[in-house]
Amino acid sequence: MIRLAAALALVLCGPAAAQGPDYPGAPAATGGANGVFLVAKPHLLDPHFSRTVVLVTQADDYSTVGVIINRPTTLKLSDFISEGGVETGKYRDRVFLGGPVMRNALVAVFQAESPPAAPAFHVLRKLYLTMHPDNMKALLESTDRRYRLYAGFSGWAPRQLESEFDREGWFVMPADEEIVFRKDTDGIWEELMQRAQALKTRSIPRRPSMPRNHKAKGPAEGGAGMPG
């Protein structure tokens, strides 16, 4: 877990801006957006993710990174940024718990019409995820940017999430910016659970009903079990 946290932190923060996004594992802000919601199934009892909705995207190295969108906290920006540092008074939203990795670090999900100058994950068409200081500073000093801050993030090594899918721990749902930035996040998990279960029900093929007087043929009689 420590090695994964260090690798994902490197990807989220990036090295000096002069190096650009060409270092190994760097998120390509100009790359295709591939974000989705992971919706925890009711039997997922891991306290880190029970009844959560996680906005995730996949990095170039096939690791998965994201933030929990429905766990607001009472934390303040002053818990993360020292006095005399970056301006914090312009941020009016709450700080959310992004996940169990690096909870003492701030992560931002923000809306932008074009890729930022500093490295960031391209999550949705106009949505990015970052922990890079240059991006964080620009967001905190702005007055009209749409963004939300998270304490820490969630991360899975390559193929680690696949094992959780094998255990049927998650539903995968299309991600939606309006849900990400919803002011009241209470009920988001229940709402997406209902959607996911409804989609699952509709995807189960129904067996066609037979006429009342129809006698089903067995394989030996040339029924469905015997071609020809």
Cα three-residue angle 190-108-103, rounded to 5 degrees? 80
Q: What is the reported pTM?
A: 0.76
Q: Which long-range contacts (CB under 8 A, 24 or more apart) does 12-21 make?
A: 12/65, 12/107, 12/121, 12/129, 12/130, 12/131, 12/132, 12/153, 13/119, 13/131, 13/132, 13/133, 14/118, 14/119, 14/132, 17/117, 17/118, 17/134, 21/119
CATH code for the domain defined by 2-20+27-194: 3.40.1740.10
Q: Which tens digits make up the pLDDT trace of 125-171? A: 999 999 999 999 999 999 899 999 999 999 999 888 888 888 889 99
| Other C-beta atoms lying within 10 Å of the C-beta of residue 166 | 8
Decide the pairing of beta strands 64-68 and 127-130: unpaired
Quick one: tokens of 64?
A: 């998965």
- In 3-state terms, what secondary structure has residue 99? coil
pLDDT means per 10 residues, the chain with 228 residues, are 44 38 36 87 94 94 94 91 70 95 95 94 96 93 94 93 86 95 96 91 51 43 35
The pLDDT of residue 168 = 86
**Cα–Cα distance, 97 to 72 (Å, whole number):** 6
Q: Which long-range contacts (CB under 8 A, 24 or more apart) does 157-161 make?
A: 157/4, 157/63, 158/61, 158/62, 158/63, 159/62, 160/64, 161/64
Query: How many Å separate Cα 138 from the centre of its chain?
Result: 23
> CA 36, 37, 41, 46 torsion: positive or negative?
positive
Decide the pairing of beta strands 147-156 and 101-111: antiparallel
Q: Which tens digits make up the pLDDT trace of 14-26? A: 433 323 333 233 3
Domain ranges of the chain: 2-20+27-194
HEC-encoded secondary structure of 109-156: EEECCCCCCCCCEEEECCEEEECCHHHHHHHHCCCCCCEEEEEEEEEE
The pLDDT of residue 23 = 27
| Other C-beta atoms lying within 10 Å of the C-beta of residue 123 | 26
